[in-house]
């Protein structure tokens, strides 16, 4: 029997610090229907012009070039990716590219109920869903809109459709939702979801104003409460460190860019909707692919540009040392 394509010998895209880059987070829009307090300020209108968005053809061509260089994981992000029209069509096109073996989506789930079936049929493997609270009033406070019921409908629709795993991303904030962490863990375990707790990052003014919570003590509390033990298997190729219940029935991930950064193992870059490739959330190094795509670059030229871009990837972020350095918002970078 032939081995799956992603297991065959393939090129390896490596940065100057010896880290393999095999994961691209692909933003399909910088628009969002929410204004989460740690992400995008209320009243913000500085969105990218639609004519600057990469078209589906341009996205497919650029992702194909990444895949030929060994990138096997693509995550569709935003903004809110489900605001981009015909997204399942793009997902199906990317899923069919040789070399890609993992296609996932990050969403706030407000639109998920009506798109879950089409996304699953298109080949999206996994979902990460933003859910910071199980309290409707708290949700409205964090997101700026009363969307809790729509979000929950989307989550349950995804579960019914058969997405697995479904990860719930909770940005844990002191004095805002930290009192709900145990409740969120119990909810996730009840429904076979994976809870991922995330430290707020100082991205733009909103991120710096978020009520940062060190997840170290939180992890210790949850380890004792649920008897958690370290998870030894990789769960998606991202930055989370996972712990599981002794019976393996529940898992909690911790994403700690501030208290315990994971830069030494960073395997990802982020492609914004306008074709700008950002090498790090906490640094300014970037490479613009839109001009190349629209000026008729050959496949070989695109691949060479990707290699040059990866050489710009910095060793680490400086969120602790210079928290005011990054003025762009998370939604502008791409999830």
> What's the rounded mean pLDDT across residues 99-105?
96
**Residue ranges of domains in the chain:** 27-333
> What's the rounded mean pLDDT across residues 273-299?
93
Q: What is the DSSP letter of 71?
A: -
Angle separating helix axes 148-161 and 136-143, nearest 10 degrees: 100
Q: How many of the other CB atoms lie within 10 Å of CB of 98?
A: 10
pLDDT at 3: 45
> What's the rounded mean pLDDT across residues 280-291?
90
Q: What angle do CA 123, 13, 66 make, to 5 degrees?
A: 40
Cis peptide before 10 (omega within 30 of 0): no
pLDDT at 332: 61
To the nearest 10°, report the CA torsion of 259, 263, 268, 269: 90
Q: How distant, in Å, are the alpha carbons of 2, 32, 121, 189, 250 from that of 167?
A: 32, 20, 19, 11, 12
pLDDT at 330: 58
pLDDT at 82: 98
CB burial string 279-298: b at 16+ within 10 A, e below: bbbbbeebbebbebbeeebe
Residue with tokens 């991205």: 203
The CATH class for the domain spanning 27-333 reads: alpha beta
> What's the rounded mean pLDDT across residues 202-216?
68
């Amino acid at each position: 029997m032939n081995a799956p394509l992603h297991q065959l010998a393939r090129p390896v895209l490596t940065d100057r610090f010896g880290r393999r880059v095999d994961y691209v987070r692909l933003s399909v829009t910088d628009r969002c229907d929410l204004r989460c307090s740690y992400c995008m300020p209320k009243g913000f209108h500085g969105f990218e012009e639609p004519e600057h968005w990469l078209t589906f053809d341009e996205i497919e061509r650029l992702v194909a070039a990444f895949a030929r260089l060994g990138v096997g994981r693509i995550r569709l992000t935003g903004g809110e990716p489900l605001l981009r029209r015909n997204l399942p069509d793009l997902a199906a096109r990317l899923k069919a590219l040789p070399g890609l073996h993992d296609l996932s989506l990050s969403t706030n789930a407000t639109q998920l109920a009506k798109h879950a079936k089409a996304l699953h049929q298109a080949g999206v493997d996994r979902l990460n869903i933003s859910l910071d609270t199980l309290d409707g009033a708290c949700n409205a406070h964090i997101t700026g809109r009363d969307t809790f019921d729509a979000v929950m409908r989307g989550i349950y629709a995804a579960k019914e459709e058969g997405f697995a795993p479904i990860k719930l991303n909770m940005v844990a904030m002191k004095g805002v939702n930290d009192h709900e962490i145990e409740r969120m863990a119990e909810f996730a375990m009840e429904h076979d979801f994976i809870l991922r707790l995330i430290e707020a990052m100082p991205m733009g003014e909103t991120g710096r104003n978020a009520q940062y919570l060190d997840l170290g003590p939180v992890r210790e509390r949850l380890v004792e409460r649920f008897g958690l033990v370290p998870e030894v298997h990789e769960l998606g190729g991202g930055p989370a460190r996972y712990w599981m219940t002794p019976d393996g029935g529940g898992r909690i991930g911790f994403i700690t860019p501030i208290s315990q950064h994971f830069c030494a193992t960073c395997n990802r870059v982020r492609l914004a909707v306008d074709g700008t490739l950002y090498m790090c959330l906490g640094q300014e190094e970037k490479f613009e692919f839109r001009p190349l795509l629209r000026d008729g670059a050959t496949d070989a030229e695109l691949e060479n540009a990707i290699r040059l871009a990866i050489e710009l990837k910095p060793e680490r972020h400086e969120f602790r040392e210079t928290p005011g350095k990054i003025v762009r918002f998370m939604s502008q970078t791409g999830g």
